[in-house]
Structure 1
Amino acid sequence: MTPHQIQLIRSSFEPLKPLAATVAEAFYTQLFTRDPALRALFRGGDMAEQGERLMQMLSAAIELLDRPGALMPVLLRLGQRHVGYGVVDAHYDSVGAALLDTLAAGLGDGFTVEVREAWTTMYGVVARTMMEGANSAVLAA
């Protein structure tokens, strides 16, 4: 990711932080509408708590974007943990699309083509690294 893309992500995420619960709820609505089968992965879980964890993870990842040496091990471990939840590689496409749709709705005109490309690039790094972690966990099992 370029420094400019990192800045675009950080600046576009900033206005969403005070709306974290609403953003998370919108994300899960998008996700379950797009891929209803994913709802089963959240067996009886508190979705408000899950949304809080999602927003914390996003904030932490965004904070570390310019420090890949610190970010990548976190994402690898996150991917390993998600295997236990039943997440498979195909789910990452649904999550990415739901994230972009949520950002587009939340940022409105601020979700420019350039901002969208930056978020798409970031999510690609996150998803690929988490899948790498997940695949290493499966191979080790």
Structure 2
Amino acid sequence: MSQFPTTVHYTIVAGFAIAAILTLLHKKREKKAAGLTPKQLELVQTSWAKVEPISDAAADIFYGQMFSTHPEYRKLFPEDMAKQKKALMKMLAMAVKGITNLDELVPKVQDLGRRHAKYYKVTIPMYKTVGECLLFTLEKGLGDSFTPEHKEAWALTYEILAGVMIPFHDK
């Protein structure tokens, strides 16, 4: 069992993904400064729409992959993962759907990044793990409908956004 209060756990991984997605989308306003094309943005949004009906299975895949590749991360989460899994999927949905109101979402996500660095002691290498688990989840959950173009769009989205969150962490 973790040493942190249960409420702390609900935002750990979800915060990584949301902050990454929202920061990238916020930068999109600067005319492709982030490097994500409108087509890639569409691929991220349309693939997410396919994840929502399988969100329970997707959360199982995500955490299963994370804990199998990094069993040491398990102690960061509550024993009963039901609320954590629902929180992850809810936060991801909010991020992907909320891209039309970035002025409201981005500051919340940036604050989440700060909290992950300060209170949860998230390290920079953890971002790579979360990104890999996210892509693994999308590939497994969506099967053949998750094309190489989808993977590239999601990978770029996560890479750029993680790069924005990392400055909150000690090097």
Instruction: Please give the residue correspondences for 1:50-69 in structure 2 after superposition, counting only pairs within 5 Å.
Output: 50-65=84-99, 68-69=102-103
Identify which of 134, 139, 143 aligns with 1:108.
143
TM-score by length of 1: 0.84
Aligned with 1:90: secondary structure?
helix
Q: How far 1:41 moved relative to its partner? A: 1.3
Instruction: Please give the residue correspondences for 1:115-134 in structure 2 after superposition, counting only pairs within 5 Å.
Output: 115-132=150-167, 134=168
Contact 1:32/1:39 (8 A) holds in 2? yes
Q: Does 1:23 align with 2:66?
A: no
Q: How far 1:2 moved relative to its partner? A: 1.7
Q: Separation in 2 of the partners of 1:100 and 1:86? A: 23
**Residues 1:24 and 1:56: Cα distance change in structure 2 (over 3 Å):** same
Residue deviations 1:4-46 (CA, integer Å, cap 9, x gap): 111101111112102211111110001111111111211x353
Misfit runs of 4+, over 6 Å? none
Aligned residues, how many? 135
The match for 1:96 is 131
Question: Structure 1 stretches of 5 or more lacking a match?
Answer: none
Relative contact order, higher structure (CA 8 A, sep 6+):
2
**Residues 1:57 and 1:118: Cα distance change in structure 2 (over 3 Å):** same
Q: How far 1:66 moved relative to its partner? A: 5.5
Q: How far 1:70 moved relative to its partner? A: 4.2
Identify which of 108, 113, 130 aligns with 1:79.
113
TM-score by length of 2: 0.71
